[in-house]
Amino acid sequence: MQQGITFFSLIFFLLIGASLVSPLYDGPIYDSTAYNECKEQPEEALYRGGIFQNKSQSRVHENGISFSDYSPSFLLHNLTQDTMYCLSAWVKIKGASSGKIRASLHTENGRYDCIGTVSAKSGCWSFLKGGFVLNRPSSFSILFFQNANGEGISIELASPSLQLFTKEQWRVNQQNIIKTKRQQATTVHVTDTEGRRVQGATMIIEQFSKEFPFGSAIANTILGNLPYQNWFVKRFNAAVFENELKWDATEPNQGKVNYTIPDQMLQFARANQLIVRGHNIFWEAPKFTPKWVQNLTGIQLQAAIDSRIQSLMSQYKEEFIHWDVSNEMLHYDFYEQRLGPNATLHFFETAHKLDPLTTLFMNDFNVVETCSDVNATVDAYISRLRELQHNGVSMGGIGLESHFTVPNLPLVRAILDKFATLDLPIWLTEVDISKTLDKDAQAIYLEEVLREGFSHPSVNGIMLWTALHPEGCYEMCLTDKDFKNLPAGDVVDKLLDEWQTGLVEGVTDEHGSFSFYGFLGDYRITVSCQNRTANSTFSLSGGQETKHFTIGL
């Protein structure tokens, strides 16, 4: 696939014919449907095929679309810039028992190597879901499907779909989900002591805590730094330690374990009612494994591992809401290489035994950021997770690091949809934007990622990876050294303000009631009428039904 667009244009025009693009219809509703199982028959196309509804220009067989000499392909005209294109198709292969099938897009302006991927099998249909956003308009594009490893196999498609959303339509869909999943309709009833309705009572309602965890990494630099602490606590309700719990930080030399720093950081978190993720017990990357551990093998290595997990879990039992048990295990296998394929299984089993109430997470990168990394596709993640589950591991959570450069929002949403079918909590655990971009661009893309995460109903929490050091941050800072917001910090403050219920003031109607929409969390209410005042609290915890709360005067 190294030829220029002119050659592709000629070949695929002859194969497929004129454009498959049909006129845009107004106001599509995003379809979050996804599948992970391989089915005997494909399901119907999402959006009735979207702009693929006009099948007269494609070679449609009874069981899908197939070409003998070329990968299944579509010729597309007049794709627009900054439009969200949502792609889906059912895929079946021949000539191999399984294959990682990748959808790619070639325009006259460049190539998008991966806009969707699926681990397909012979004899059944697998669901590919993805999408793309163009940074420049394209008058002529080729959408095609290939085996990711380059080996030639026969690929069949069924129920292909390509649905476009304008930026405005995408935002409307996000806001609709936020209103139904992150907010709740609430009616407050005011009565007197005999249960009679009180009309004309005034009330002030204030949200004092949020149910949705939104936080950031912190480092030991926050200790004793009151301005940093105040800045952090004003904004966030969750934290994760950047490096301080890792093995090389707590036991840099064998047998000399020191939890002083993480203990102090945890004390700060407790004092400010922050929930904290445990990151991490083990890290599979050799370069992040303590040097003294790298020299161990066999019984000595196993003894060191057992000592580490026993010590750590005993020290912090029931302190952390999560544990990243074996970090980045899709990319690295330091412990498996030395102790066999069941090494990771042992980590999870032991962690669950020692701290059974904490949710255990797989945590990895390039899972939601791209689909080009064959080690970390959504299907590769799910396969590894199921392998652990089938071996009895109590696997509770999906950790997606989310280190982005330029996010592909339709792909992000599609990957989250596929994870959502597992009915496990999904967290974006280390969100940042690459420092290869300027600060204004970082802010723009950060807002896109945060909106995408918050508006997906299966995302249970978001953590930024923005711990502040004198020399800066890992990739992206929210403030300067004097805690004045950078553009990314302004975005965070804007969204935090947008995603909370502001001060609500109201008056009860003739039914003695007042209604409003509130973000999930805890509220204080003060009701007054004719020199009588009552104070109370209530919680909004979600659900389709309106929350009713009665307060007596």
**Where in the sequence numbering do the catalytic residues fall?**
328, 430
Name, in order, each residue with C-beta under 8 angstroms of 515's C-beta and a sequence gap of 6 or more: 185, 186, 187, 188, 546
Interstrand relation of 202-210 and 521-529 (parallel, antiparallel or unpaired): antiparallel
**Which residue from 33, 76, 217, 63 is spatially nearest to 125, judged by alpha carbons?**
63
CB 45, CB 52: distance < 8 Å: yes
Q: What's phi and psi for 13, nearest 5 deg?
A: -65, -40
DSSP 3-state assignment of 455? coil
Antiparallel, parallel or unpaired: β 126-132 and 202-210? unpaired
**Which residues contact residue 90 at a Cβ distance below 8 angstroms, ignoring those fewer than 6 apart?**
39, 42, 43, 64, 125, 126, 127, 128, 157, 158, 159
CA distance 291 to 311: 19
Residue 186: beta bridge partners? 516, 547
- 8 Å CB contact between 73 and 117: no
Q: Please, what's the largest Cα pairwise distance for the chain? A: 84
Q: Three-class SS of residue 330? A: coil
| Token duo for residue 39 | 């089915």
217 near 240, Cβ under 8 Å? yes
Judged by DSSP in three states, 13 sits in helix
- Core vs surface per residue 514-531: b (16+ CB within 10 A) or e: bebebbbbebebebebee
Q: In a 3-state reduction of DSSP, which class is residue 118?
A: strand
290-301 per-residue burial string, b: 16 or more CB within 10 A, e: under 16: beebeebeeeeb
- The Cα 129–Cα 230 span in angstroms is 43
Which among 18, 24, 19 has a CA at the least distance from the CA of 83?
Answer: 24
